[in-house]
Amino acid sequence: MELLTVIKKFNTKVECVKYLEKLKWNNVPECPYCGDQKSSPKQNRYTCLKCNRSYSVTVGTMFHSSKVPLPIWFLAISLILSAKKGISSRQLSRHLSVDKDTAWFIQKRIRKAMIEKDSVLEGVVEADECFIGGKKKNRYFKKRQKDPTRRMTGYSEKIPVLGMFQRSGKIITRVLNHAWGKEIIPIMKNWISAKSTIVTDGFGGYYYCSEHFQSHQVINHSKYNHRYDQYHMNNIEGFWSMFKRSLIGQYHKVSNIYLQDYLNEMAYKFNYRKSTDMGFKTLMHNMLL
Ligand SMILES: [Zn+2]
């Protein structure tokens, strides 16, 4: 949904509640405590006629127990979704006129609703790893380049990340402890159907892919032809370069703990890039779970 539409449409609590009630209940309120659908309404709230408890559409959801007004949540979601390269919590705090702790709290909850839960990738799936590291570590890496063992020492300073992209489908990413097969293969098996064709580069971590998936196509970067080969890794490589640019632009240093959160956010936006309305609706739906 366009930012301007959200600003115009959801500028009052009543409008936001109306949208959420339709999304969660299809307009038939249901008591979150006993599940009964008979209630008496009073100012955005309902009293259950069975258990006599009072509730609203946001009880027990990510919107609940925060002092942040609903129109601010809607605006925050829209801002985060429309920032292609991400938005820092400082920027978010300025746009929403809230303090930076509140902005950080909002951002954290919204990112939690962006976590991919039960997707299974199938068909042609590109898998690739990428190494993320802070500026200091990059300098260290460059300094180490003269060292013949630099590949090991340099990369061990960076955080490895695995990406899995289904052709014309979703991307799923996972931060790794180590970029090696015994960690990579179980993650791939968890997210990718065994009937899939896996496309990877020649990195040893993917060596046993052919034992777990229907087929394994190994791309030789120095030889393969971008234009004519049906098996390529252009999509996943495109995602990595976008992700790295967003890290440079928005998040000046990467914290190990939050890297997966950043990745989830960028992957979510990437997955809904062709349908921003669906991205907005799905996120709202996840916030209500
Ligand atoms: Zn009840």
Percent of the chain with pLDDT over 90: 62
Question: Given a cut of 50, is residue 136 above it in pLDDT?
Answer: no
What's the rounded Cα separation, in Å, for the pair 283 and 204? 37
Higher pLDDT, 246 or 97: 97
Q: Residue for token digits 């801002």?
A: 79
Could you tell me if 159 and 261 lie in one domain? Answer: yes
In a domain, 134, yes or no: yes
Q: Are 88 and 106 in contact (CB under 8 A)?
A: no
How far is it, in rounded angstroms, from Cα 188 to Cα 163? 9
Q: Residue 28 burial (CB < 10 Å; 0-12/13-18/19+)?
A: exposed
Q: Are residues 11 and 80 in the same domain?
A: yes
> Each residue of 112-134: pLDDT tens digit?
999 988 889 999 999 999 988 75
Quick one: pLDDT at residue 147? 43
Does residue 149 have a pLDDT over 60?
Answer: no
Q: Classify residue 269: in a domain, yes or no.
A: yes
Q: Give me the amino acid identity at 93.
A: S
Position 259 scores a pLDDT of 86
User: Measured in angstroms, how far is the CA atom of residue 45 from the centroid of ligand 1?
Assistant: 13
Neighbours of 247 (CB within 10 A): 21
pLDDT at residue 247 in the model? 79
Pick the more confident residue, 180 or 118.
Answer: 180
Q: Residues 186, 134: one domain?
A: yes
Q: Does the residue 243 lie in any domain?
A: yes
Segment 7-13 long-range contacts (CB within 8 Å, at least 24 positions apart): 7/75, 7/78, 10/70, 10/71, 10/74, 10/75, 11/71, 12/71, 13/44, 13/69, 13/70, 13/71
From ligand 1's centre to the CA of 42, what distance in Å?
Answer: 15
Using the mean position of ligand 1's atoms as its centre, give its distance from the Cα of residue 1 in Å. Answer: 34
Q: Is residue 210 over pLDDT 50?
A: yes
Average pLDDT over residues 260-265: 90
267 shares its domain with 131:
yes
- Asked which of 84, 112, 140 is the last residue of a domain, the reply is 112
> Which has the higher per-residue pLDDT, 1 or 156?
1
Flag whether 285 is in a domain: no
Residue 153 pLDDT: 45
Q: Quick one: pLDDT at residue 231?
A: 82
Q: How many domains does the chain have?
A: 2
**Beta bridge partner(s), residue 175:** 161
Instruction: Return the pLDDT at 140.
Output: 47
Average pLDDT over every residue of 217-246: 78
Same domain, 206 and 83: no
Interval between CA 48 and ligand 1 midpoint (Å):
5
- Per-residue confidence band for 249, with pLDDT thresholds at 50, 70 and 90: low
Residue ranges making up the domain that contains 63:
3-112
Ligand 1 center from residue 51 Cα (angstroms): 4
Q: Do 97 and 172 share a domain, yes or no? A: no
If asked whether residues 103 and 148 sit together in one domain, one would say: no
SS3 166: strand
Q: Are residues 108 and 150 in the same domain?
A: no
**Spacing, Cα 289 to ligand 1 middle (Å):** 18
| Domain final residue pick, 52, 81, 112 | 112
Domain membership flag for residue 283 = no
Task: Let me know if residue 97 belongs to a domain.
Answer: yes
Distance 113 CA to ligand 1 centre (A): 26
| Prediction pTM value | 0.86
**How far apart are the CA of 64 and the centre of ligand 1, in A?**
18
> Which pLDDT belongs to residue 155?
52
- Indicate if the pLDDT at residue 227 is higher than 70: no
Q: What is the pLDDT of residues 150-177, one digit of tens each?
A: 444 445 568 899 999 999 899 999 999 8
> Does position 104 have pLDDT exceeding 50, yes or no?
yes
Distance 283 CA to ligand 1 centre (A): 27
- 54 CA distance to ligand 1 centroid (A)? 8
Measure 230 CA to ligand 1 centroid, in angstroms: 56
Position 10 pLDDT exceeds 50:
yes
Distance 53 CA to ligand 1 centre (A): 6
